[in-house]
Structure 1
Amino acid sequence: MVRFDDVSMRYGRGPEVLSDLNFGLAPGSFHFVTGPSGAGKSSLLKLVYLAAKPSKGLIHLFGQDVSRSTAESRPHLRRRIGVVFQELLLLDHLSTFDNAAIPLRISGRRPAEYRNDVAELLSWVGLGQRMHAMPATLAGGEKQRLAIARAVVARPEILLADEPTGNVDHEMALRIYRLFVELNRLGTTVLIATHDQDMVARSGRPVLHLEGGRLTARPPQGPAPQGPAAP
């Protein structure tokens, strides 16, 4: 699903923030990316999402070499990827419901076809009573949960999440993790960048660890926690 071959990245003429990365993500796999602040976790996700280009090396996505992808081809590839950004990037003029439904609208589905699905997902992430609220009236944790709902609503082939549980309490973090697990069970390849070492340790999932812009793989830490399935 994803393969990096000797990939490096820098911003402008600055030093490399990622150096000689080599790894692959099999279809349907679930990995965490860990490392200290500034290690390059967000930059790695940007490369996968085609929001940045490598300064060296080859990136294969969905079996295609995308290192030199054109502006015309990138939107089609991005529609197959769900992303939870740290910046959230909610649209202030749209309601909670309409923000969550954006990927479905882009794909051409009509509101009558997805209304129940979006409402059920928003209820799952604790926003069932806030579907008609505008983003400016939401608390920080509510905005985070809305961004997650938007990223997963279309069941993407790849899900990338940058600190998705950073602004929620432990109970909601566990519900969100279980939602990601259910998506993974249905076939989505999941890659989560996080500082939450407790979640990583209890998950039983393999870890890609960044230190100084270089990547080392870590084996699973133990059995994954069990819990009720997401909708």
Structure 2
Amino acid sequence: MSRNPLAAEAVAAPVLRFDDVSMRYGRAPETLRDLTFELEQGSFHFLTGASGAGKSSLLKLIYLAAKPSKGLIHLFGQDVSAIPPKDKPHVRRRIGVVFQEFRLLDHMTAFDNVALPLRIAGRKPDSYRQDVAELLAWVGLKSRMHAMPPTLAGGEKQRLAIARAVVNRPDILVADEPTGNVDHEMSLRILRLFVELNRLGTTVLIATHDQDLVARAGQPVLHLDGGRLTTLQPGARP
């Protein structure tokens, strides 16, 4: 049978789309203004901008920790404003988040902190024990897997938070200054982890001030300035 020349090509929807999105806190001036952009499935971007430019606010909109004051956000093909409250936990489980403040559970070991997303997803310990141990070794925490978070140094907590965010291979990973508390060698190792995760299909968005990291990665950049967003190609300067 010949193909119908009028048949529409199947085009995958972007994993994330902002349409004319703005955000403000209370009566303050808008932190983000009229943002319109898309992230394709499997893409890798950095998010840059001066302190206070709105990078953390933009990430909060993506992982459903904040709501826009104007505009529409589509996540995994769904209008975020139309997602029922009972379905939001399931949507959030598809998003890995590396927070600046870590948000580790102090009463759980490093191993159990990383394993938590897998436990929530219903996996049994026998099915994930080796995966978690290998990931902790990759981020340099093999000898600390039974340590409690209060006994870890700042850089160790950062690496632990990253391991927890990526352990279940999320559809989207957003990271807020993920290399801010580690040395240069470890920051490159973490970058390789993000690149490998991206090769497996995860959409990656990293907010950072580390211009050396951005230059080494050679990926496009979303740059925030005055609450507005511009897209820069690899190697371009804002």
Per the alignment, residue 175 of structure 1 pairs with 189
Instruction: Name the SS for the 1:100 alignment partner.
Output: helix
Matched-pair contact (CA < 8 Å) for 1:202–1:221: no
Any idea what SS the aligned residue of 1:149 has? helix
Secondary structure at the aligned position of 2:81 is classed as: coil
- Residue equivalent to 2:80: 66
For 2:65, which of 32, 51, 54 is the aligned residue? Answer: 51
2:152 to 124, 138, 152: 138
Residue 72 of structure 1, CA deviation: 1.8
Matched, 1:157 2:167: no
Q: Rg bigger for which structure? A: 2
Q: Is this contact kept in 2: 1:32–1:205, CA < 8 A? A: yes
- Residue range with higher mean Cα deviation, 59-68 or 95-104: 59-68
The alpha carbon displacement at 1:69 in A equals 3.2
Are the counterparts in 2 of residues 54 and 67 from structure 1 also a CA contact under 8 Å? no
2: distance between equivalents of 1:76 and 1:173? Answer: 30
Asked whether the equivalents of residues 83 and 160 of structure 1 are also in contact (C-alpha less than 8 Å), the reply is yes
Q: C-alpha displacement at 1:13, in angstroms?
A: 2.0
**Residue 220 of structure 1 aligns with which residue?**
234
1:31 and 2:45 correspond = yes
* Worse-matched range after superposition: 203-212 or 62-71: 62-71
- The amino acid that maps onto 1:109 is R
Quote how far apart the aligned CAs of 1:68 are: 4.3
Unaligned 5+ runs, structure 1: 223-231
CA distance, structure 1, for counterparts of residue 26 and residue 132 of structure 2:
40
Instruction: Return the alpha-carbon distance in structure 2 between the equivalents of residues 70 and 86 of structure 1.
Output: 28
Deviations 1:142-200 (A, max 9, x none): 00000000000000000000000000000000000000000000000000000000111
Question: In the alignment, which residue of structure 2 is the partner of 1:100?
Answer: 114
Structure 2 residue ranges without an equivalent (≥5): 1-14
TM-score normalised by the chain length of structure 2:
0.92
Matching residue within 158, 162, 179 for 1:148:
162
AA partner of residue 221 (structure 1): G
Q: Does the aligned pair in 2 maintain the 1:203–1:221 contact within 8 Å?
A: no
TM-score (norm 1): 0.94
Is residue 9 of structure 1 aligned with residue 23 of structure 2?
A: yes
Q: Tell me the equivalent position of 1:206.
A: 220
Note if 1:76 corresponds to 2:76: no
SS of the aligned residue for 1:16 comes to: coil
CA distance in 1, matches of 2:94, 2:173: 9
Report the RMSD for the aligned CA atoms in angstroms. 0.9
Question: Is 1:112 matched up with 2:112?
Answer: no
State the alpha-carbon separation in 2 of the partners of residues 191 and 23 from structure 1.
13
